[in-house]
């Protein structure tokens, strides 16, 4: 099979018939063999009924329904586990992503050798202050932290080699950082394609102000897991040792100052009266706790069932 298209959706019943007809038209024109997997993420409108009706018309359509709303990451992960196509595309169900972009993405994966191609909505039809400006800042931050030169990490339309989606696990709100997770998994040829962004035709956006809080936290999680997920002692142990040594040096300075004063028959205040003593003691305690955290993290990591799961490229 040439292409699998994964479409997570929540209350998008009005747009699905038009979207499916558009996808089928593009596929027939380019003679692609394909499947469409629609993931109903706990919709409370008629989305699931519409999927059932479309299934009668399009044999290439598959539907998966969640018992409740679990989020876009869970929907994508479920879809990725089910795909069969050589090239996997994701797109939103609100018609803001154009299926006419599919041949271009497919060519970049199959002919130009990219592992992942992310869309770039260069011209956006979104509110300036609530979406455009925060999106630019977010993408700039992720570029700086990850080293991946993409303009739009969270664009809904992306294309992957099948082995990419089978090698990464998406959870929480990590769908925003799939390129970062793919790079960590060893897929380094990541490209970008300018795509047409259309105004929403049906329904309303499903993302609120909470994304401004979750986004930075998820980014820190991804960066930590990608660098130290298998070796937490390298981070916590290093920080713990540095903090403990800093406290030890501070305590030594306070002690030496006291000894010098006593040896020269000078009146010196009690060590416990010095604020530097308590700062040094605090550093030593925090350093010990950080080191202990790294040690416990290392024990948990080494006890994990997938501790030796590495991504083998090929085998003879």
Could you write out the DSSP letters of every residue in 142-168? HHHHH----S-TT-S-EEEEHHHHTT-
- Contact assessment for residue 114 and residue 108, using Cβ atoms and an 8 Å cutoff: yes
Render pLDDT for 172-196 as a digit per residue (tens, 0 to 9): 778 888 998 898 888 989 999 999 8
Distance CA 173, CA 73 (A): 6
Q: Which of 27, 36, 156 is nearest to 90 (CA)?
A: 156
Q: Mean pLDDT over residues 152-173, rounded?
A: 89
Cα dihedral 34, 39, 43, 48 sign: positive
Query: b/e map of 178-206 (b: 16 or more CB within 10 Å)?
Result: bbbbbbbbebeebbbbebebeeeeebeeb
Distance CA 96, CA 204 (A): 12
- Contact assessment for residue 177 and residue 223, using Cβ atoms and an 8 Å cutoff: no
pTM over 0.85: no
Q: Which of 63, 16, 71 is nearest to 38 (CA)?
A: 63
Phi, psi of 113 (to 5 degrees): 80, 20
Phi, psi of 123 (to 5 degrees): -115, 115
Token pair in block for residue 209: 């102000």
Distance CA 48, CA 140 (A): 37
- Contact assessment for residue 4 and residue 37, using Cβ atoms and an 8 Å cutoff: yes
Distance CA 148, CA 306 (A): 27
First to last CA, the chain: 25
Render pLDDT for 74-90 as a digit per residue (tens, 0 to 9): 999 999 999 999 999 99
- pLDDT at position 310 is 46
Token pair in block for residue 27: 């596929």
Q: Mean pLDDT over residues 100-108, rounded?
A: 96
Render pLDDT for 282-296 as a digit per residue (tens, 0 to 9): 999 999 999 898 888
CB-based contacts of 236: which residues, under 8 Å, 6+ apart?
290, 291, 293, 294, 297
Helices (H) then strands (E): counts for the chain = 10, 7
| Element containing residue 131 per DSSP (H, E) | none
More confident position, 278 or 232: 278
More confident position, 208 or 79: 79
Sequence length of the chain is 316
Q: What percent of the chain has pLDDT over 90?
A: 47
């Amino acid at each position: 099979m040439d292409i699998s298209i994964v479409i997570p959706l929540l209350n998008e019943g009005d747009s699905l018939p038009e979207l499916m007809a558009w996808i089928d038209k593009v596929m027939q024109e380019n003679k692609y063999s394909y499947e469409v997997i629609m993931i109903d993420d706990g919709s409370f409108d008629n989305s699931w009924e519409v999927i059932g009706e479309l299934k009668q018309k399009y044999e290439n359509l598959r539907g998966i329904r969640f018992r409740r709303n679990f989020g876009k990451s869970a929907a994508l992960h479920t879809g990725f586990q089910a795909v069969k196509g050589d090239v996997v595309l994701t797109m939103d169900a609100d018609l803001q992503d154009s299926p006419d972009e599919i041949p271009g993405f497919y060519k970049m994966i199959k002919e130009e050798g990219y592992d992942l191609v992310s869309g770039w909505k260069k011209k956006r039809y979104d509110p300036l202050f609530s979406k455009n400006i925060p999106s630019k800042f977010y993408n700039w931050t992720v570029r700086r932290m990850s080293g991946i030169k993409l303009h739009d990490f969270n664009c809904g339309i992306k294309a992957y080699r099948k082995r990419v989606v089978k090698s990464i696990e998406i959870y929480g709100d990590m769908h925003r950082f799939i390129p970062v997770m793919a790079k960590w998994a060893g897929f380094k040829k990541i490209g970008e394609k300018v795509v047409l962004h259309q105004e929403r035709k049906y329904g309303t956006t499903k993302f609120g102000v909470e994304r401004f809080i979750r986004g930075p936290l998820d980014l820190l999680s991804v960066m930590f897991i990608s660098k130290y997920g298998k070796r937490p002692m390298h981070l916590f142990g290093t920080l713990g040792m540095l903090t403990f040594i800093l406290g030890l040096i501070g305590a030594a300075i306070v002690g030496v100052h006291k000894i010098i004063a006593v040896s020269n028959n000078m009146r010196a205040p009690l060590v416990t009266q010095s604020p530097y003593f308590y700062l040094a003691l605090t550093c030593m305690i925090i350093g010990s706790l950080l080191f202990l955290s790294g040690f416990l993290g290392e024990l948990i990591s080494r006890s994990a069932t997938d501790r030796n799961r590495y991504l083998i490229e090929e085998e003879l």
